[in-house]
């Protein structure tokens, strides 16, 4: 989830002014030395937009949007879900995704203990262990129900 949120941030945050000026200067030189005031200072100034989609737009993509807004706004699942539901009434993240969003909130929007992403935080590890047990039970034919 962190990688997805980072990607959305990169696409939606305005670029830093220094890189804009460097781009404008390079473009100015390419065009024959026109002044920055006369040239393309607006390069990259538009704020990006990101389309988050899945097959039906009911569970997966709303889950990503909710996770992103939770992290960006530092708000809990219930509040963000309610706001998104107002904008798009037909969303219904699966129970599995809701569980993961609650864990996302609990761990402070980062599921890993380390930068190398090798050690899950306790709540996330518990989720992984539970999921592994369910898969084992399903493989053994003992699983009766689920997500």
Residues annotated as catalytic are: 54
Transcribe 97-144 into DSSP letters: HHHHHHHHHHTTS--BSSTTS-SB-HHHHHHHHHHHHHHHHHHTT---
Residue positions counted in the chain = 147
SS3 52: coil
Rounded-to-integer distance, Cα 71 and Cα 4, Å: 11
């Amino acid at each position: 989830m962190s990688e997805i949120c980072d990607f959305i941030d990169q696409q939606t945050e305005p670029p830093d002014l220094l890189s804009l000026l460097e781009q404008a200067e390079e473009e100015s030189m390419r065009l024959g030395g026109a002044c920055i005031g006369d040239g393309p200072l607006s390069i990259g100034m538009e704020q990006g937009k990101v389309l988050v989609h899945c097959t039906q737009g009911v569970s997966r993509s709303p889950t990503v949007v909710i996770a992103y807004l939770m992290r960006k706004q530092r708000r809990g699942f219930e509040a963000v879900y309610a706001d998104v539901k107002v904008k798009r009434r037909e969303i219904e993240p699966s129970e599995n995704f809701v569980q993961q969003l609650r864990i996302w909130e609990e761990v402070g929007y980062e599921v890993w203990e380390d930068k190398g992403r090798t050690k899950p935080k306790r709540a996330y590890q518990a989720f992984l262990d539970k999921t592994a047990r369910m898969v084992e039970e399903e493989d053994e034919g003992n699983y009766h129900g689920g997500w």
